[in-house]
Amino acid sequence: MSNLIPKRVKYRKQQRGKMKGNATRGNYVAFGDYGLQSLEVCWVSGRQLEAGRIAAQHFLRRQGKVFIRVFPDKPISKKPLETRMGTGKADVDFWAARIKPGTVLFEIAGVPEDLAKQAFARIANKMPVRCRFVGRRLAV
């Protein structure tokens, strides 16, 4: 299974950081007709995103287009098991996307609403957060 990682980065490792508040960007459906919105804070790994994409595409059987709205650009390091503390920061274990409440994770275009809901239910099972189904918001 191919994994989502950046092509190039400025620094090999990052500090953990904090995720306070709600998403103020990427919090509405922009490309597709329907979206899957996160309701919690988390790191979503590239592997989880890929699992979600595959689950949706297998269900939709190439009927619709699936958009992934987040990208795992944060390196998460992890020390190996049974290792003593110290000796510097550990190697990168996986790459994660920072998710805040309101972030739209996936979008689907070109399918009816009921089919999109079923596809998103399959994606939501692969996500480490509670999610909800959203449509496009009002525009004036």
Partner 1 sequence: MSKETPVLVAKKREKLGTRYSRRLRAAGQLPCNLYGHGSAPVAISVEEHATLYALKHGAHVLALKFDDGSTDTVLVKDLQFGFLGDNVIHMDLARVNLDEVVTVKVHLSFIGTPEAAKKPGAIVTHDMPEIEVTCKVRDIPEEIKTDLSHMEGEMLTVGQLKMPAGVTAASDANAAVIRVQFMKEEAAAGEAAAPAAGAAPEVLTAKKEEGADAKK
Among 41, 51, 76, 109, the residue binding partner 1 under the rule CB under 8 A is 109
CB 50 within 8 A of CB 1: yes
Question: Distance of alpha carbon 107 from its chain centroid, rounded?
Answer: 11
- Interaction of residue 80 with partner 1, rule CB under 8 A: no
Q: Is 138 one of the binding residues for partner 1 (CB under 8 A)? A: yes
Q: Does 59 bind partner 1 (CB under 8 A)?
A: no
118 near partner 1, rule: CB under 8 A: no
Nearest to 123 by CA among 138, 108, 111: 108
Residue 16 has, within 13 A of its CA and on its CB side, a CA count of 8
CA-to-CA distance for 138 and 140, rounded, in angstroms? 7
Q: Is 136 in the site for partner 1 (CB under 8 A)?
A: yes
Q: Does 76 bind partner 1 (CB under 8 A)?
A: no
Nearer to partner 1, 10 or 18 (CB): 10
Q: Which residue lies nearer to partner 1 by CB, 9 or 76?
A: 9
Does the footprint of partner 1 cover residue 84 (CB under 8 A)? no
Nearer to partner 1, 12 or 78 (CB): 12
Output the CA torsion sign for 135, 125, 52, 127: positive
Cβ(104)–Cβ(28) below 8 Å? yes
DSSP class of 138 = P
Does position 85 interact with partner 1 (CB under 8 A)? The reply is no
* Amino acid present at 6: P
Q: Which residues bind partner 1 (CB under 8 A)?
A: 1-12, 22-23, 27-28, 33, 37, 39, 57, 62-65, 92, 101-102, 109-111, 134, 136-140
